[in-house]
Amino acid sequence: MFIPLHDANTLKHIKVQWVTLALIALNVAVWLFTTLESELAAQATTVGLGYIPAIAFGHAQLEEGLEIVPEPLTYLTYAFVHMGFWHLASNMVFLWVFGDNVEDALGHMRFLLFYLLCAAAGALCHGFLTTTSEAPLVGASGAISGVVAAYVMLHPRVRVWVLVFFRVPLPLPAFVPLLLWIGQQFFMLAIAPDGDVSWGAHVGGILAGAALILVLRRPGVPLFDRQIVTPRAVRDDSGAAAAGMDGRTVQRLPWGRGRR
């Protein structure tokens, strides 16, 4: 439906989103390892680190030598394995745009706990819906879904630039694209529960993220903030910011100057 490009939601409690950056780096590192290794090694990594419902629920066992981590850890390790570049890139873009502000609202360690719990919830929901499936579940989508749910509960009115249908850049209040995206996950789970995409993992992550943000956020951090935050002002050549009709600074997206 859309690709998030940029939000202008400045950090309030932390200086750098270290956990978000570390998670992105770890996901990229695992993907590079599986890409640079042989196809057989990549498949072994997917099987050994992926979450396989049939194994988790006792309907099957891994062949000897394929197990990399104990089965309970696959509820977490699957979230760091991706099938291809676009699978990785789409998840990491969402984490880059929205993860820093969720980390800011929770703190570093609680955000790490939040992320891992959302990943585990995604795997658990996927497993309950497909208990006999022997296909490995991989990808950070469950954890990212939790981040999206937390973000929209924290900052529904923050302006987010999104690329709609891969073509049209639009600045929208966060609740518009994110609630549409969340609704899509539930809709697709209802009509295509057995497809190649695990909509169940997405829904599990969403439900976990919405619940966990209620208890893990910093004391005093409000939900559903009312302030509309627009992109940072871009000063013209004279150094003066443009002013709106109400006297407030009009902020514009800094195209070509990078994004946060």
> What does the pLDDT look like over 44-69, one tens digit per residue?
899 999 999 999 999 999 988 889 99
∠ CA 235-237-238, rounded to 5°? 90
Within a 10 A sphere around the Cβ of 14, how many other Cβ atoms?
A: 18
How much is the pLDDT for 241? Answer: 37
Q: Is the pLDDT of residue 1 over 50?
A: yes
Cα distances from 13 to residues 19, 89, 106, 176, 218, in angstroms, run 14, 27, 9, 26, 9
Predicted structure pTM score: 0.85
Instruction: Give the span between the Cα atoms of 82 and 33, in whole angstroms.
Output: 11
pLDDT value of position 8: 83
Predicted local confidence at residue 196, as pLDDT: 86
- DSSP per position, 222-233: PSS--PPP-PPP
Tens digit of each residue's pLDDT (9 = 90 or more) over 18-42: 999 999 999 999 999 888 877 888 8
pLDDT band at 250 (very low <50, low <70, confident <90, very high): very low
Reply yes or no on whether the pLDDT at 254 is more than 80.
Answer: no
Coil/strand/helix, residue 28: helix
pLDDT at position 227 is 56
